[in-house]
Homo-oligomer: A and B are copies of this chain.
Amino acid sequence: MIEIRKATEADQGAIWEIIHRVLQGGDTYSFAPESTREQMMAYWFAPGKHTYVALYDCKIAGTFAICDNQPGLGSHVANGAFMVSALFAGKGIGKAMGGFSLTEARRLGYKAMQFNFVVKSNERAVKLWQSLGFNIVGEVPDAFNHRQLGLTNTYVMYQKL
Contacts and interface: CB of A to CB of B under 8 A. Distances in A.
Interface in A60-88: 69-77
Contacts of A32: 71-73
A116 B115 CA distance: 12
A114 B71 CA distance: 18
A145 B30 contact: no
A98 interface: no
A74 B139 contact: no
A11 interface: no
Given A138-B138, A139-B138, A142-B112, A30 B70 contact: yes
Contacts of A75: 30
A151 B111 CA distance: 11
A31 interface: yes
Contacts of A33: 72
A143 interface: yes
A28 to B, nearest CB: 9
A74 B143 contact: yes
20 contacts: A30-B70, A30-B71, A31-B72, A32-B71, A33-B72, A70-B117, A73-B146, A73-B147, A74-B143, A74-B154, A77-B142, A77-B143, A111-B151, A112-B142, A112-B143, A114-B140, A137-B138, A137-B139, A138-B139, A156-B156
Interface of A: 26, 29-33, 35, 69-77, 111-112, 114, 116-117, 137-147, 151, 154, 156, 158, 160
